[in-house]
Structure 1
Amino acid sequence: MMKHLKNSGLGIVIIITIGFYSCTGLGKMLKKEATVKYSVAPNPLEAHNDSVSVSITVNYPEKYFGKKVLLTVTPQCGTHQFKPVTLLGEKAIGTGSKIYKKTGGSYTYTDKVAYTKDMLDAELKLNAVGVVKKKTKEMPARMIGNGTVITPYLVKYDDKAIFGKDAFVKIVEKKIEGQTHFVISSTTYSPKKDVKGDDMKAAMDFMKAHHANPNMELKGMSVSAYASPDGESEGNTKLAADRFTKTQKDIQAMCKDKKTGYEAATKDEFYQKETIAEDWDGFQSAVSKSSIKDKDLILRVLSTYPDGAKREQEIKNMSATYEELAKDILPQLRRAVVTVNAIQHNRTDARILELARSTADSLSLEEILYAGTLTSDINEKLNFYKASEKMYASDWRTSNNVGGIYLMQNKLQDAKAAFNRAGGASANNPIIMNNQAIVMRWEGDRKSAKAQLDMSKSAGPEVMYNLGIIAIQDGVYADAVSNFGGSASFNAALAKVLSGDLDGAVSTIDKSSEKEDALSYYLKAVIAARKGNKEGVVSNLKTAIGKDPSLKQQAKTDVEFLKSREEIDFKSTVN
């Protein structure tokens, strides 16, 4: 009997409560809440530029909204609440949009909030509280959508650092020049201008020093013998040839010395012959560089008369000027130009690597930088670049390359310090600025990173790739696609997915060196889901999870696969 009375009492309370709220209009709204229609865009929600935007349109039917009701509606995804909005019955007092009882009405709500992890695999609900005068009623929460697609967060942090390139070359061509000079119309040397003179010292010393050097290959000697333009052409032709012979024979005689001689240079085939009977080109060059009084007039004669005899006659007609030419210009042209041609063979890769590991200080700057390219061991690279910085700190490449390795090791602060040292050695260097921008982005300052990269585009294509990563994070996917250009990479494919080019994304993945990566198959599963290809979702996820088991949990909560969650094959793949 007591139990019956208690139940009767509870029923009376419920009846009284509903009756009360019915009088206020809230009860009827509560009872017919299911007739309210909602549309959500996008649904599921999507994260872009670290934010989630939502647009909700609510349609209230006729004779639904209480005339005196003030309704506060608050969307919620996960534990994150969006801004509240207030709707008013036609007789309610307050600030908000009016909804009329007789005709009903609609309201479109928009908001944008920062994405938080609790919004990932969550329901989008509407919480509503109705108020009539001093009476308040909390409406049941209603699910109206899902959250949240976070595919942009698949972006790889594979920013492209740029290393300072070495200038090491394995073979270096050497050309060492000397000259002999002769008196007019003769093969007799001018005083101290023979093969033992100062003008020949560099060439002859080079041959003596290196003819037995296994790393220096002497290829031969070019001898170009000249006659000055004064005199008859036929005589000058023979004179130039005789001057070649004289110079060659005297060098050969010197190379027969038993102590310092060079056997190969005693052979005629060591020499390449060239003779110029009338050295008008040399004459023009010498006059142009001189301060001779009638220089312009002489040059005009040369340009006016192509015939050598006519030129000579016109110049000789300028008697005073000709005397100056005969004294200061023409003697320079009675010569033989000797060029020693050699090839320097620098250290082999094996030898450079050996020295870099043992005695790095025995290597030149270019060699130690080159050593860093000869090993795939990242720690060894770092050791080589550190050694280069210790020895050649004034060269920006050394500090810059140390920073590049630190980035590869995810040692951000060490990389930052190294790039700052490089910047101190070479201000406004676009390569260093690119690398500093990577640090800025990793520290979360995308705005400064982008500004820095925009000023660094001359550094190379790596800059545009790095801008592409920022464009993905900023949610400007068309820019990302443009920045990546023809790059066949995971991130380029991701940009195409986010911009709606699903087929282009698949093509890009298949062309990339990352096509067999677990994340590439995961992205293919996302593409399949967006295309409604259930088999593609499962097959690509199986491959991805087989390569990286951690992706199983990610797939479980990824809203990209929301429509596949009840599929048996999908469940067996992720569970």
Structure 2
Amino acid sequence: MKHNTLKTLSFVTVASLGILACNPLNKMSKNTDVIEVSATPDPLELHGDSVEVNVTGTFPTKYFHKKAKVTVTPVFKVDSQIVKEFDSMDFQGEKADGEAQVINFEKGGKFDFNVKLPYTPELEYGELYAVAEGSYKTKEKALGEIKIADGTVTTPLLVMSDDKPIIGADKFQRITTENLTATVNYLINSPVVRSSELSDADMKQLITDIKARANDSTYVFKALKVDGYASPDGEISLNDNLADDRAKSASNAVKNYLRRYKVSTEDDFYQLQGKGEDWPGFKSEMEKSDIKDKELILRVLQMYEDRAKREQEIKNLAATYVEVADKILPKLRRSEVTLVVDKVGKTDEQITELAANDAAALNVEELLYAATLTNDMNTKLSIYKKVAEIYPEDWRGHNNIGYIYLLQNKLSDAKTQFNKAASIDASNPVVNNNLGVIARLEGDRATAMSYYNKANGAGADVGYNKGIVNIKNGDYEDAVSNFGGSQSFNAALAQLLNGDPDKALSTLEASDEANTAEGYYLKAIIGARKNNKEMVMNNLKSAVGKDASLKAKAKKDVEFLKFDLSSI
């Protein structure tokens, strides 16, 4: 919202001709109609913590006495009283002593300087004046003043302090799936499951697991998946059928144990698939072997797109290389068995009861989950304290205690807990985000941003928190970027401050704050930026209807300088 205001500084006229004759300051005043002065921006604008203005002007030709000096000082006035002075700029004639900017008598001269002040509330409503004072030898004279800008746009101060701490989430899963596996190997061209295979370690473990889970009501048997394979050295037609038969025989072997331990199953429980000859498995086993020239052998075999020709070459290879026949091909004559079993965890009622009376009986995920089953903050806090006590090595206990304290506005207590969480896991992005929130609320934006930069990976809330800092710093483009797709008041504010009122309005209308006093007030400002009087008036009336204090604020807000607000 930057404008230039060109003003003229009229000098004080003097009645006494005698004084004119001896005081060049009076002569300068008499012979000068105007000094041009402008300020950018007008109105002034708050950026970060300060107000900065560029003052430019022109001294006319044959105005500046060669031995005179002039000081121009921007001052901020409220109700005609000076409340702040900016730094001055000094000028001097060609023959004056000093090191100020020299203004030529014949040609005049231009000036251009920036001044900056820390923002204080008294700069919000008032006017900026350029005050000129002249001196000649021992004489001094107030030459005059002119208004060059209106009070400060403080719209960035509307940013909501709704920083977002992050909870250390549980990983509780009521149902966890287990895949119990075993491999059944076969003799060449045979689908028969040998008794020796049922005594192998993996099959014995599978049988033991079936027995244990069949007697535990918390387990649910979901499926038996069996994939049958044949080695790629047999006849193609035989191999396809052989793979199917091997899947059936392995399934039947496991089915016998399921029946023995009274596991109930439906027809779709058994999922069998014959995979045919296992060329990928052959390649994998060859690559893992120490057979000489294995890379060359594989390249040659892969040249045969015709399965029959490749099959013959593998037979020839087995005849030449004993290791292929004895160690690689036998591994491929198999069925892969996967028994899918669901472990069903405790009910919400059981978890709630244990959290209250026997928390140590819950694992850390169950205990953290218990806190999500209540809306009472003190109950949540009690549970998180138990997490920190029973599972002191888990950062989430202290982090979540801090989270509750922060929601309860206990900033110091929250900070202590977040620091304890950081002592357990200093690089954790969630903890760093929360320490950033503490730093921001304490007024240390630089430290806050440092923490947020270490919190990448903790989710969109980190970007949102960065956006708040960006607005506070006056970095509106970065704020828009960090808010991302957030449909929020602050995101809309950032878009407005970055020069996109239409996008700001769209975002604000989609936000939870759209119909709040703050939302209506921001929509009124958007209307002012769009020079839409109806939008300004309608939204201000709605804002004041929800919060009467906004009436006085609006009448002093320079965003609405162009509008008559007497009817709100």
Q: Same fold (TM over 0.5)?
A: yes
Trace 1:36-435 onto structure 2 (pairs within 5 A): 36-58=35-57, 69-78=68-77, 79-88=83-92, 92-98=96-102, 107-138=111-142, 143-180=147-184, 187=192, 189-191=194-196, 193-194=197-198, 198-224=201-227, 251=254, 254=257, 261-264=261-264, 271-274=270-273, 285-286=284-285, 288-291=287-290, 303=302, 306-307=307-308, 310-311=312-313, 313-318=315-320, 321-322=321-322, 328=327, 332=331, 336-349=335-348, 351-435=350-434
Q: Which one is further off, 138-147 or 494-503?
A: 138-147
Matched residues in 1 for 2:451 and 2:204: separation? 53
Matched residues in 1 for 2:19 and 2:87: separation? 30
What TM-score do you get using the length of structure 2 for normalisation? 0.78
Matched residues in 1 for 2:70 and 2:289: separation? 98
Matched residues in 2 for 1:481 and 1:188: separation? 66
SS in structure 2 at match of 1:46: strand
Matched residues in 2 for 1:209 and 1:534: separation? 77
| C-alpha RMSD of matched pairs (Å) | 4.3
Cα deviation, 1:353-395, whole Å, max 9, x if unaligned, reads 5544554433333333444555555554444444333333434
SS in structure 1 at match of 2:515: coil
Structure 2 counterpart of 1:189, one-letter code: R
Deviation at residue 522 of structure 1 after TM alignment: 1.1
Cα deviation, 1:179-211, whole Å, max 9, x if unaligned, reads 4556675847354x32x6543233223322223
Deviation at residue 118 of structure 1 after TM alignment: 1.9
Matched residues in 2 for 1:270 and 1:62: separation? 101
Matched residues in 2 for 1:499 and 1:444: separation? 23
Matched residues in 1 for 2:203 and 2:54: separation? 87
Structure 2 counterpart of 1:82, one-letter code: F
Matched residues in 1 for 2:248 and 2:45: separation? 87
Aligned-residue sequence identity (percent) comes to 43
Inter-CA distance 31–408: structure 2 relative to 1 (3 Å threshold): farther
Deviation at residue 262 of structure 1 after TM alignment: 0.8
Residue correspondences, number: 546
Inter-CA distance 123–218: structure 2 relative to 1 (3 Å threshold): same
Inter-CA distance 40–240: structure 2 relative to 1 (3 Å threshold): closer
Instruction: Show the counterpart of 1:441.
Output: 440
Instruction: Show the counterpart of 2:6.
Output: none
Matched residues in 2 for 1:129 and 1:309: separation? 104
Give yes or no for contact 2:555–2:565 (8 Å, CA) kept in 1.
no
Give yes or no for contact 2:477–2:498 (8 Å, CA) kept in 1.
yes
Instruction: Show the counterpart of 1:3.
Output: none
Structure 1 counterpart of 2:86, one-letter code: F
Deviation at residue 218 of structure 1 after TM alignment: 0.9
Matched residues in 1 for 2:331 and 2:356: separation? 53
Structure 1 counterpart of 2:124, one-letter code: L
Q: Which has the higher helix share?
A: 1
Give yes or no for contact 1:433–1:452 (8 Å, CA) kept in 2.
yes
Deviation at residue 229 of structure 1 after TM alignment: 6.8
Structure 2 counterpart of 1:110, one-letter code: N
SS in structure 1 at match of 2:528: helix
Give yes or no for contact 2:207–2:257 (8 Å, CA) kept in 1.
no
Inter-CA distance 33–254: structure 2 relative to 1 (3 Å threshold): same
SS in structure 1 at match of 2:44: coil
Please, which runs of 5 or more residues in structure 1 have no aligned partner?
A: 1-14
Give yes or no for contact 1:301–1:311 (8 Å, CA) kept in 2.
no
What TM-score do you get using the length of structure 1 for normalisation? 0.77
Q: Which one is further off, 47-56 or 370-379?
A: 370-379
Instruction: Show the counterpart of 1:5.
Output: none
Deviation at residue 39 of structure 1 after TM alignment: 2.9
Matched residues in 2 for 1:98 and 1:282: separation? 90
Give the alignment partner of residue 566 of structure 2, picking from 559, 565, 568: 568
Matched residues in 1 for 2:103 and 2:236: separation? 111
Matched residues in 1 for 2:277 and 2:91: separation? 103
Give yes or no for contact 1:208–1:262 (8 Å, CA) kept in 2.
no
Trace 1:454-533 onto structure 2 (pairs within 5 A): 454=453, 456-533=455-532
SS in structure 2 at match of 1:158: coil
Matched residues in 2 for 1:153 and 1:409: separation? 24
Cα deviation, 1:462-493, whole Å, max 9, x if unaligned, reads 44433333332332333333333433222222
Matched residues in 2 for 1:85 and 1:349: separation? 73
Deviation at residue 520 of structure 1 after TM alignment: 1.7
Matched residues in 2 for 1:472 and 1:91: separation? 49
Matched residues in 2 for 1:164 and 1:151: separation? 35
Matched residues in 2 for 1:144 and 1:280: separation? 85
